[in-house]
Amino acid sequence: MAINENLLGGPAPTHLPDDPEPRELLASGTAPAEVAAKYPASSLVWAQLSDDAFEAGRVVESYAYARTGYHRGLDALRRAGWKGHGPVPFEHEPNRGFLRALHALARAAQAIGEQDEYERCTVFLRDSSPTAADTLS
């Protein structure tokens, strides 16, 4: 039996490849919009833009940023072998950008009255990573 074998028979966890440059630029204080212009495929950058817009009361803008990060993350997950379901562990740092964007999309959807999308994203987040759902909420 392999050490990381899934005994429940579900899909193996998806681990996105590391992309440290956007994370390092954000950590150094570079403006998220500048980082997004340089690394538009980074879900992390779009999640940060969404968080910043939400905190400033720009909810529709937050929604748009979160949706971009979510879709960039779905693209990355598919490239990493994800088949539309299964664990996306928060413990694996490169997955956090997607999970943050998914959380931000749920939050913004709820704020603009998109209840169905809020519920779908909330369930998707919990199904992908209970740790992310607990940590980000």
Mean pLDDT of the chain: 94
Q: Which fold has domain 31-136?
A: 1.25.40
DSSP H helices, 1-129, are: 20-27, 32-38, 43-55, 59-79, 96-111, 115-128
C-alpha span between 100 and 97 (Å, rounded) = 5
Q: Are 85 and 11 in contact (CB under 8 A)?
A: yes
Q: What one-character DSSP code corresponds to residue 84? A: S
Q: What is the pLDDT at residue 133?
A: 98
Q: What is the pLDDT at residue 2?
A: 43
75, 86, 24, 50: CA torsion to nearest 10: 70
pLDDT at residue 105 above 90? yes
Q: Report how far Cα 26 is from the mean position of its chain's Cα atoms.
A: 16
What residues does each domain of the chain span? 31-136
Q: What is the pLDDT at residue 7?
A: 58
Give percent of the chain above pLDDT 90: 92
C-alpha span between 11 and 54 (Å, rounded) = 34
pLDDT at residue 5 above 60? no
Q: Are 22 and 93 in contact (CB under 8 A)?
A: no
Q: What is the pLDDT at residue 1?
A: 38
φ/ψ of residue 14, rounded to 5: -95, 130
Give percent of the chain above pLDDT 70: 94
pLDDT in tens, 69-102: 999 999 999 999 999 999 999 999 999 999 999 9
The band of 6, judged by pLDDT with boundaries at 50, 70 and 90, is low
Q: pTM (2 decimals)?
A: 0.92
C-alpha span between 88 and 7 (Å, rounded) = 17
